[in-house]
Structure 1
Amino acid sequence: MTAVKIIKVLGTSTESWEDAAREAVAQAAETVQDIHGIEVEDWTATVEDGQITEYKATVELAFPVAHE
């Protein structure tokens, strides 16, 4: 039986929420091994002068607990 750890990561993008989610996974993958799945918990954005200037995605990442 494998134990799974879940962490939250906030990704940001000036392009889209999807890009923000991809960025969260890409950045986390630099230090977290074997990410098996994600769940997008929340989509938010920064608005300036009536326009979205930054998209934000709060993502939960799941990966197996390492046994050393």
Structure 2
Amino acid sequence: MAENVYKMIEIVGTSSESWEKAAATAISRAAGSLRDLRVAEVTEQDVVIEGGAVSLYRTKLKVSMKLED
């Protein structure tokens, strides 16, 4: 069995619609510049409030990627 090493990074996505959309936006953007993404773990969710209403959803994720040989 091959031994692998993975790197973890932290990213934050935003959306005016939902936490799920914020997470999907973050992963999609990261996948455009990083290779071999493996797993994402939601570590924090919060919202921005303006005028007494939610104006922005934010999702913080830890993302792992396999390091190349």
1:30 maps to 32
1:49 corresponds, among 40, 48, 51, to 51
- Structure 1: state its 5+ residue gaps: none
**Matches for 1:1-68 after TM superposition, within 5 Å:** 1-67=3-69
Query: What TM-score results when the alignment is normalised by the length of structure 1?
Result: 0.95
Render the CA deviation track for 1:17-53: whole Å, top value 9, x for unaligned: 0000000100000011111110000001100011100
- TM superposition outliers: structure 1 runs of 4+ over 6 Å: none
Please give the alpha-carbon distance, in whole angstroms, between the structure 1 residues aligned to 2:36 and 2:28. 12
Q: Secondary structure at the match of 1:2?
A: coil
Uncovered stretches (5+) of structure 2, i.e. residues with no partner: none
Distance 2:11 2:36 in 1: 15
Distance 2:52 2:68 in 1: 46
**Count of residue correspondences:** 67
Q: TM-score, normalized by length of structure 2?
A: 0.93
In structure 1, C-alpha distance between the alignment counterparts of 2:51 and 2:26, rounded to whole Å: 26
Looking at structure 2, the residues matched to 35 and 47 of structure 1 have their Cα atoms a distance apart, in angstroms, of 32
User: Secondary structure, in 3 states, of the residue corresponding to 1:33?
Assistant: coil
